[in-house]
């Protein structure tokens, strides 16, 4: 094998190795797997305390739009805040305060922003 060919082969091999390492590191650091979304509510706002919905997957630092339908029950209810107790996640853009009429329903919408590190597990949201 000539020196020129050997140098070219080594150069290509180094480039391929660097690209593979960058891709593997990027994939390892960007995986968000929310296995379920659990809702808590100290005052059981609109009867949501203990509800669970399916999760989602995405990239780190990404966002997910969530909309849930709440029932007002016999007395109606009001949601004033939506927050998370799961480290690294944040909530924005919630349409609160949201008044749900007696025997009616209303849609609560908000955006969940994921952490910049990998995450796999349950996301807990607090609705008050």
Boundaries of domain holding 60: 32-127
Centroid of chain to Cα 27 = 17
How many domains, in total, are found in the chain? 1
Summarised one tens digit per residue, pLDDT across range 24-64 is 455 555 699 999 999 999 999 999 999 999 999 999 999 99
Q: For position 115, which CATH number holds?
A: 2.60.40
Q: What is the pTM of this model?
A: 0.76
Summarised one tens digit per residue, pLDDT across range 85-110 is 999 999 999 999 999 999 999 999 99
Confirm whether 68 is domain-assigned.
yes
Q: Which of 100, 122, 115, 8 is nearest to 48 (CA)?
A: 100
User: DSSP class of residue 29?
Assistant: H
């Amino acid at each position: 094998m000539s020196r020129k060919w050997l140098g070219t082969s080594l150069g290509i091999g180094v480039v391929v190795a660097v690209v593979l390492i960058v891709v593997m590191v990027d994939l390892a650091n960007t995986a968000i797997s929310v296995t379920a979304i659990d809702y808590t509510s100290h005052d059981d706002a609109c009867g949501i305390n203990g509800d669970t919905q399916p999760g989602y997957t995405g990239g780190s630092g990404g966002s997910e739009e969530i909309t849930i339908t709440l029932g007002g029950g016999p007395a109606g209810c009001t949601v004033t805040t939506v927050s998370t107790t799961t480290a690294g996640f944040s909530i924005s853009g919630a349409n609160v305060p949201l008044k749900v009429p007696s025997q009616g329903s209303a849609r609560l919408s908000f955006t969940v922003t994921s952490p910049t590190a990998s995450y796999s597990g349950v996301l807990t949201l607090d609705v008050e």
